[in-house]
DNA sequence: CCATATCACGTACGGCGTACGTAATCTCTT
DNA sequence: AAGAGATTACGTACGCCGTACGTGATATGG
């Protein structure tokens, strides 16, 4: 005893994600999404629990892209940890405008939890359990989140429509006697790129996990 | 040739911070802040560059609380790194509702940069420079940011008006065969507390920095 | 074939950021 | 002493936002 729904949830998700990827997070409004779907604003409420549900949908869409991580689990827990961490990071980078939502919202949905469990599984196979497992998890997931955030909003972050050269020009304009190290790493960042930095940081963590 | 200003910038900052600390980030509006100061909404625009400037003010207020870090610099770069990282983390935790702003906004203000330089200085005294310094910085600052985020929005985060016991009850309600490790660390989290986890994670990083 | 449950969505309201205009207030010049 | 000029205070109003509510359309079960 019902009328058929006009849109699938996938259609909703795709439209919302496209909206944010193209026009930024601020463009995520009920009216905008409805217009993109060619319908009225209130229709969205038949698919999503208000604004909050809309954001939830978006975060889930990004987190769903994390899994499955190919080749995981393997006998090499270190390789698995690297793979899972990188899968998260890649998913974030693919939709940078959603990162603020991922960072900010309390997400307890299945895709998010599954990604966490993947990471935990690799760490557990590295011989950790209980409190030591908790700490290792906090460390790795914190790094992944924080690294994504730093690229987006940190001192070396590159604004939309800005080039890496413009960033270093801005940093170089700082007083050199007060921020010598900041200037130094801004120059170093020109030659490395976030990919290499992410992997190197992760390797340092794995070194720490192995030694400690 | 001017009329005297009704409020000092400090007064603005304090009022904005109090508003957010007491009523949450959503309460940060021009009208609310003006009302708290007993004036009209448009008056705020004489002190701050629009909504964006208001948020900037708030982030700066939090970042200013990071420095100076007592006892830094000292001959022990490891102790200094710990102290600086912890100072950041403490400042974030003191105003949890501002964290989303800190995480989300591109902050290039002086207090933020000074905190970064402090961290870099400790790492540099540990014998790192150039690309290796950059990577170590990314690692540590990423961890600090990400750890704060995880406590706020991660799978083990505790919602406002929620207890740690309620969190583990919720986690325990998950299918145990699919999320065994998540359940394990949720139980472990009951005995440890974020303070100990933060320090232990940082120690793992320092171990990695020392070995690698 | 109609009763009924569901869906689509137009209207409207309160709150937001803020462009604009005006009145008030101080300082400096004469 | 008085007027000119600059600056601040802030009321009004507009176009957004999320969304409560109500109405008409639509497909299905009896």
- Whether the per-residue pLDDT at B2 is higher than 80: the answer is no
Determine, for residues A103 and B153 on separate chains, whether the beta-carbon distance falls below 8 Å. yes
The arithmetic mean of pLDDT across residues A29-47, rounded, is 97
Cα A123 to Cα A202: distance, rounded to the nearest angstrom: 13
The per-residue pLDDT for range A134-170, each reduced to its tens digit, is 999 999 999 999 999 999 999 999 999 899 999 999 9
Cα A33 to Cα A41: distance, rounded to the nearest angstrom: 8
> Residue B43: what are its φ and ψ, rounded to 5°?
-60, -35
Question: Which of A104, A116, A145 minimises the CB distance to B146?
Answer: A145
Closest amino acid to nucleotide D18 (CA–C1'): A51
Closest amino acid to nucleotide C24 (CA–C1'): B3
The per-residue pLDDT for range A156-212, each reduced to its tens digit, is 999 998 999 999 999 999 999 999 999 999 999 999 999 999 999 999 999 999 997
Determine, for residues A147 and B138 on separate chains, whether the beta-carbon distance falls below 8 Å. yes
The whole-angstrom distance between A116's CA and the closest CA on chain B is 7
The per-residue pLDDT for range B126-172, each reduced to its tens digit, is 999 999 999 999 999 999 999 999 999 999 999 998 999 999 999 99
Closest nucleotide to A42: CA versus each C1': C9
Of A23, A24, A30, residue with least CA distance to A12: A30
Is the CB of residue A91 less than 8 Å from the CB of residue A65?
Answer: yes
The arithmetic mean of pLDDT across residues A89-107, rounded, is 97
The topology (CATH level 3) of A69-211 is: Tetracycline Repressor; domain 2 (1.10.357)
SS (H, E, C) A123-184: HHHCCCCHHHHHHHHHHHHHHHHHHHHHHHHCCCCCCCCCCHHHHHHHHHCCCCCCCHHHHH
pLDDT of A99 reads 97
Domain range summary for chain A, segments of one domain joined by +:
9-48, 69-211
The topology (CATH level 3) of B71-211 is: Tetracycline Repressor; domain 2 (1.10.357)
* Domain range A9-48, CATH class: mainly alpha
pLDDT of B47 reads 97
Whether B79 has its CB under 8 Å from any CB of chain A: the answer is no
Whether A9-48 and A69-211 share one fold: the answer is no
* Domain range B9-63, CATH class: mainly alpha
Instruction: Name the residue with tokens 């827990």.
Output: A77
pLDDT of A3 reads 72
- Whether the per-residue pLDDT at B9 is higher than 70: the answer is yes
What percentage of chain A carries pLDDT values higher than 70? 99
The per-residue pLDDT for range B64-87, each reduced to its tens digit, is 999 999 999 999 999 999 999 999
pLDDT of B1 reads 58
- Whether the per-residue pLDDT at A1 is higher than 70: the answer is no
- Whether the per-residue pLDDT at A55 is higher than 80: the answer is yes
- Whether the per-residue pLDDT at B51 is higher than 90: the answer is yes
pLDDT of A4 reads 80
Which of B63, B160, B185 to substitute to test the interface with A, most A CBs within 10 Å? Answer: B185
């Amino acid at each position: 005893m019902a009328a058929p729904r006009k849109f699938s949830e996938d259609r909703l998700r795709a439209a919302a994600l496209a909206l944010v990827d193209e026009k930024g997070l601020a463009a995520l409004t009920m009216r905008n999404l409805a217009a993109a779907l060619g319908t009225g604003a209130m229709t969205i409420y038949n698919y999503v629990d208000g604004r909050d549900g809309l954001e939830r949908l978006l975060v889930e869409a990004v987190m769903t892209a994390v899994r499955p991580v190919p080749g995981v689990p393997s006998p090499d827990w270190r390789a698995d940890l690297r793979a899972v961490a990188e899968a998260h990071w890649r998913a974030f980078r693919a939709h940078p405008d959603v990162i603020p939502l991922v960072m900010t919202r309390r997400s307890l949905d299945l895709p998010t939890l599954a990604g966490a469990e993947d990471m935990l599984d690799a760490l557990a196979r590295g011989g950790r359990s209980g409190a030591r497992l908790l700490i290792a998890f906090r460390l790795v997931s914190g790094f992944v989140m924080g690294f994504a955030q730093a690229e987006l909003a940190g001192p070396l972050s590159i604004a939309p429509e800005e080039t890496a050269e413009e960033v270093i020009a801005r940093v170089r304009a700082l007083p050199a006697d007060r921020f010598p190290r900041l200037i130094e790493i801004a120059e170093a960042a020109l030659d490395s790129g976030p990919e290499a930095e992410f992997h190197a940081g992760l390797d340092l963590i794995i070194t720490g996990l192995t030694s400690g």
